[in-house]
Chains A and B, each alone.
Chain A
Amino acid sequence: MTGRLRSGPRALAAFIGRLVGLGAGVAVVAASFSVPPPRVLAAPRSLSINPTGGVAQLVCPGPVLLPGVDPSHATTNASLAPSVVVGTGTMREALNTDNPSAGRDGSPSRVTDPSPHAQLAAAEITDLATEGYRGLSAGACFAPTVDAWLVGASSALGDTAVLQLASPTTAASVVTLTVWGSAGKIDASLPPVRVPAGSAVSLSLAGIAPNQDALALHVHADGGPITAWVSVSEISGLTPQGIDQVAPGAAPSTALAIAGLIVDASTATATAGEAGQSGPKLRLLAPEAEASVQITVRSESGLSSSHFEATLSAGAVTELTLGGLSPGSYAVSMTASAPVVAAAWSALTDGAARDYAWTAASEALGDQAQVVIPDHLTAQLHVLNTDQSVRTLAISGRTPTTLTLQPGQAQSVPLESGGWALSGSAGMVASVSLLRPAGMASYPVLGPSAAQGTVTVYPR
């Protein structure tokens, strides 16, 4: 049968027929490829849901912890003075802790408000005046998170730093610590820290990263979320140099802002170059990649504004002294070429007594925010408008007031004790500074938790 040749008109007709068939095929393909095909795709179906209700719980840090101060528990971190929680929550329950003096001084606690429209705000104040330790400390109460960045603390001689981790939820946490010093990341090859559910554990940073004069930490929790603080204190010889609780600040970012850097007359330096022992400082870390940072320090009075630039090598904690600032309140804005974390440090002296405060870069606020102010202390609310437009901030409480801020402008307003509500605060960074003679402290006004706000849900 192979290739049986036929001649004549029939074979020719068959051949032409095949040619026509092939031509039709080519035409079909050409036609379909010459026009763009129709595009009909099912759109992903999502619902944007903003859950009702506010923050369900905050966790307060408890008293400032100091390593080995109790002679009977020399290896245990303990507290020396009770702390006071101020806040709006209706229920408060203490977490289990390893602090042997927790019975007297208190422990980390969980503040909850089961009402559907709860607006929680709380802070915890420690006022310490013993022979060895002296100062004022304020710790903000935070919603539990998975990641916390803590910039502050030192393990140099005379300095103590105790990291406190609390797992307030029903899930136990396994916490991974990453510690950076001025020479770079500290490879402590730490085993993960297990924090049982509803408990707090503390560990001295001196044991993890000894003799580091500048520390920064990243805390990551697997399992349940955590809250983290570092209690710090300083002694020079036998003279107490102050206490504080370092609060978590903004996650690494290329744009950071710090509101409420207090430069006290007692520690202000006249010239820019002078690195005074107690002059204000900025601590920065670029955890991943080398970054060049543009820094603007602007006074709240609006009279002075200075810019400078720094280059951070990757993984090395860098401190910059902020010389040449006249006494007053300042706001610091930073833009960086790679994500950085930052906090500011300032101190005041009163004769021999000294105290200091860490103010971390914090996340921008949402449109609504809550502030709580303790009694018996001079409190200032510091606000920095990081937005590109003029903003009006309404502060309502016992004596309502309104602030109008230009883009990049910082202002402050004294507040009486009690709860205050901010509205119109979107895009602002705010903190509260507390002052008393020979004592200073600072805590941030919390923005919306990363775990709040609208969720996009795909129902299938």
Chain B
Amino acid sequence: MSHVTAIVLVRDGAERLPGTLQALGTQDRVPDALVVVDLASRDSSARLAADFSPARVIIERRDATLADALAAVRAGGPPAGQEEMYWILSQDHQPDSGALAALLAELERSASVAIVGPKLIRADRDGVIFELGETMTRSGESYPVVSAELDQGQHDVMSDVLGVSAAGMLIRARVYQDVGGFNPAVGASDAGLELCLRARMAGYRVVVAPLARIIAWPSELIGPAWPSGYQARLVARRRERRALLFRRLSYAPALWLPALWLGLVPLALARTLWLVVAKAAGQVPGEWWATFTVALNPKAIAAGRRRVRQSGRLGRAHGVGRRAFAGLLLNRRQAFRARRDAPGVRQAGPARPDIAFFASGGGWLVLALAAVSIGLSWRYLTAAGLAGGALGPLGPDLWGLWKSTLGWQTPSGLVPADPFSAVLASLGTATWWSPSYALVLLWLLALPGAGLVGFWCAARFTPRTSLRVVAGILWALSPSLHAALVDGRPGGVITHLLLPLTVAALWSARQSAASSARAALLIMVVAAATPSLLPSLLAAWLIVLAGSGRRFFANLGIIAPTITLFAPLVIAQLQAGRPWAILTDPGPVVSAPPVGIRDLLAFSPSSGLSGGLSGVAPDAWAGWIGPGAVGVLLVIGLVGSLVPGKPANWAVAGLGLAAISLAEARWVSQIGFSASGDRQAQLWLGGLMSLAWLGLGIAVLVGIRYAGRLGSAVAVVVTLTGVVVALPFGYLQASGSSAVVAAPDRAVPALVAAQAQREGAIATLLIEPQRTGGVRVTRLIGSLVINAQRTALLTRTQPSPQEVTLATLAASLTSLSTAPVADALASQNIRFVLLSPAAPDAPAAVETAARAKAALATHSELTSVGSSAFGSLWRVNLPLTGQTDTDPTPWALAIAALQAMIIAVTFLLALPISKGAGAKALPEPFNPLNAGKTSSARRSQTRRDES
């Protein structure tokens, strides 16, 4: 005969306790004894329980574990001749009337079965199995055998399992004692599995009784976790993780124990990285909590191992091997499926059209644009680097590239690097064998790249081939892209290539963590390349944030990498009282002719449009061709914005974006903050113009879409219009009148480059005759590279003492003068003096160059080394006494490390990852609103809501 003691754990369970106790009373097989274990309830639970007159046990600890509860219960014994059994329940587990009978039947049928588990049914979804049996992988990760399935009796033949949850478990009291009882060190959710493992080791069987149904609510007392809030789910996950680690240390052979223990922290580190990649960064603190609570609790490990040993001895006595349950473990593929199908895993958002890149013409588009690109820029095909505009060599080597991203210590403080230098360093690293070549590739690939980007972004929103191809063409023919290519603006080219991707990522950031991270990285790069877009990007971010809803806090972080990267520059400029100078374009200062109204109206950020047109059309109306072409696009866009239907809203939004960007560009068209030599920079308007073009493009696509059968004709008109605005720039580029020219991959004589490579810290005094007849003086460390330019220096209004010293030195060197130069040369560590050739069309510069050349030769401190295309070079014959100021300071390194860490984490978050390969999902939340619906029904409803 069996004597069943039902043990009901209660803690503040007034709401459901009566129902549970009632259900116990109406069982087909009523438990022989009822013990309510009250874990110091603060509500009326005690009084309610008393109505059922059980043997009540009160434990005055709210955090008592299952083990404590059972220890308290075991005091009373069963009548003689009857086998004592415990039925473990809580206030949140309400058995069906046949539950106990079904469980007991399993125990009575076979003496080898020690533990029987029920089928837990979700209280919030009628008929959905919450859990039926538990198992784990070889490495100890636990999974339910069956979960989140509609119960249609399909599992009712199941029997042997690795373990069952403690909730609703019926266990022989003798076995419970033999294997050492529940382990108090294991949390409530894993206690059942852990106990079952030991029972298995001791040679007993664990089975499920699928006919025993227990309705389960989320419970913190026993059984699998099923918490409602995100935080609570994280807590449940970290307990699960602690249980896993604990299990691992308890079951490991003694020989392995030290290695396992020492490996805990490295393992946590590795898993931290993995969790970030798997977009589960929220679980990282829990991972460390679990690691340390396990590692620093040797007593619990020892107790756990004692229990395992005890069970093992018993098992050997029963003739069972140590791995009695090996066949019941999950293998890798099963675990992968379990993770993928787990109910907590987020399902895909609204359905997106297939990209079908080649099938819908993307391949041909990119191929054609690549051919056009080669036709236009064949001059650069064999170049080692590019020069002109803001272009120049990168490098000189990998170390130099990345060193230029660090703050630079000067006597007057840390001069922060421009964020763009990190972008250039990444580019240069891509062609590590010759960093400058990265810019050549950028120029060659810009056109097909822009087409690809336009096509791809359109493909995410429309399945129509024609719209996708037109989007690609429009984006590749944008005046801002071609102006950037002709005027030599690497930042402009990069911005144009990334802007649509940024907008698309921001759009998806409302739904996906990976998109948020991608948007964060893209915004960072675009802002670094064109800081004048910062206000627009911030506004876009705020708009996305406002529409984020549940993902508000996740999307708050989108701006974090940008802030991190810009922080040193922003702080420096704020300290200097030049907040607006943050918007200064990075790289060498380029002085461009002012951009006229007609250029702006043609969405061109450069006067190159009207300039190029004047080469192919009569002057009188050349200036109106561009605005006229854009007018055609505008009409199509206006049609798109006034047609009925939802897409018209897109067109209106696009035209609004275009209007605002255009107005902003006009407003800042004569603003600049940096100067170098006799050149004054104006803000590069290309970023704003790309944005305006994007808005116009969206409206035009809507217009074409509406045109129906006329669509293809309109698409042809749009394409031709794009060709008209891009043609003048193409003409400039193809005819060699562009500012960009092929150049060697260095801008200093080979001797200087070689010496800099060898000595490292030497400086070169670069003297450049200016068109005004003055000289610009620069102290180069190593080589002359564009990634070393710093807007924090170029926007300064007062020369620093060092600059005054150098200016005086340069004046003395370029004059027939007896003024002493030796001290200044030595103390500034100047090994070479390089006099650049003057522009032949500037007489004042030619005169200055002649003067400087005559004077330089009269200084006995200098020896002429020779002349080259880079200018005349002199070597300084003095022992150098200056400080080597190229070693990065700890401060600069610390800042860079912090930036790198945040960017790396964002990058890892942005990596796409397949669902099953990811981290184990958090438990599925309990959602009372959905009570009564199956999960698949809920999913399909969500999809309907979102579409």
Contact = CB atoms under 8 A, between A and B. Distances in A.
Given A29-B663, A460-B776, A223 B867 contact: yes
Contact of B652 (A22, A43, A145): A22
Contacts of A270: none
B645 interface: yes
A458 B774 contact: yes
Interface string B665-682: 011111111111111111
Contacts of A118: 818
6 contacts: A38-B667, A44-B679, A57-B816, A450-B847, A450-B850, A451-B854
Interface string A4-35: 11100001001100110110111011011100
Interface in B789-842: 793-799, 803-804, 806-808, 810-812, 814-820
B550 interface: no
A272 to B, nearest CB: 39
B858 A144 contact: yes
Given A3-B706, A15-B642, A144-B858, A451 B816 contact: yes
Given A18-B649, A458-B776, A458-B777, 4 more contacts: A40-B670, A42-B674, A42-B681, A146-B854
Given A25-B655, A458-B774, A224 B864 contact: yes
Q: Is the interface of A mostly helix, strand, loop or mixed?
A: loop
B866 A223 contact: yes
Contact of A144 (B642, B669, B676, B854): B854
Contacts of A45: 675, 796-799
Interface of A: 1-6, 11, 14-15, 18-19, 21-22, 24-26, 28-29, 31-33, 37-47, 49-57, 113-118, 143-147, 168-172, 197, 222-225, 449-453, 455-460
Contacts of A169: 857-858, 864
Given A41-B680, A54-B817, A55-B816, A457 B777 contact: yes
Contacts of B772: 44, 456
Interface string B846-881: 010011111101101011101100001010000000
Nearest to B864: A171
Contact of B855 (A2, A451, A457): A451
Contact of A38 (B641, B671, B775): B671
Nearest to A113: B818
B47 interface: no
A170 B860 contact: yes
Contacts of B775: 455-458
| Most chain A beta-carbon neighbours within 10 Å: one of B652, B680, B681, B854 | B854
Interface residues of B, number: 88
B539 interface: no
Contacts of B667: 32, 37-38
B658 interface: yes
Contacts of B646: 1
Given A1-B646, A2-B705, A456 B819 contact: no
Nearest to A42: B675
B327 interface: no
A452 B858 contact: no
B900 to A, nearest CB: 29
B811 A41 contact: no
Contacts of A46: 678, 774
B597 interface: yes
B890 interface: no
Contacts of B678: 44, 46, 458
Nearest to B854: A225
A145 B649 CA distance: 72
Contacts of A147: 850
A207 B26 CA distance: 133
Contacts of B857: 144, 169-171, 223-225
B770 interface: yes
A197 B866 CA distance: 12
A52 B817 contact: yes
A455 B770 CA distance: 11
A42 B818 CA distance: 34
B127 interface: no
B812 A51 contact: yes
Interface in B619-677: 638, 641-649, 652, 655-656, 658-660, 662-664, 666-677
B436 interface: no
B641 A22 contact: yes
A3 B702 CA distance: 11
A115 B652 contact: no
B652 A32 contact: no
B258 interface: no
Contact of B672 (A40, A55, A115): A40
B33 to A, nearest CB: 66
